[in-house]
Structure 1
Amino acid sequence: MKRHWNGILRWFTSRINNGILEGINSLIQAAKAKARGYRTIKNLITIIYLIGGKLEFRLPT
């Protein structure tokens, strides 16, 4: 706790935490699981954008 004391006190003034970064990391890990077997990093990046963008591909009715 002594090592992190400055960060603990900083939270009370800024109210910023790493929750957003953890959420982005979770999206990337999900993309890596879905992209298993693809041959290039380009395909992994595409899957990350598709998952992170939350796009809906519904046909118009």
Structure 2
Amino acid sequence: MVKVAQTLKKHEPGILRWFVSKMTNGLLEGINSLVQAAKRKARGYRTIKNFIAMIYATANKLIIKVEPHKQG
């Protein structure tokens, strides 16, 4: 019981902050998961610019539609 009280006291600011913000680290964990997925997809790319582009494409869940070229 003493150890539980010590743990609660140690984490008191974070526990109390939740009641104000209602935020957890779940969002950050989800974003990290998307970045890690992008990292796996970007294997073999040679520049950080391409890696960042892959992160954006993965995190934003972009739907890229290719329309056929219209000949006029």
TM range (shorter): 0.7 to 0.9
TM-score (norm: length of structure 1) = 0.79
For 1:58 and 1:24, locate their aligned partners in 2 and report how far apart those are by CA, in whole Å. 24
Q: Match of 1:21?
A: 28
Large movers: runs of 4+ above 3 Å = none
RMSD after superposition: 1.5
1:38 matched to 2:45: yes
In the alignment of these two chains, the number of paired residues is: 60
- Extract unaligned runs of 5+ from structure 2: 1-6, 68-72
- Percent identity at matched positions? 62
For 2:63 and 2:55, locate their aligned partners in 1 and report how far apart those are by CA, in whole Å. 15
Rg larger for: 2
Q: Taking structure 1 as reference, are residues 41 and 59 closer, same or farther at Cα in structure 2, changes over 3 Å only?
A: closer
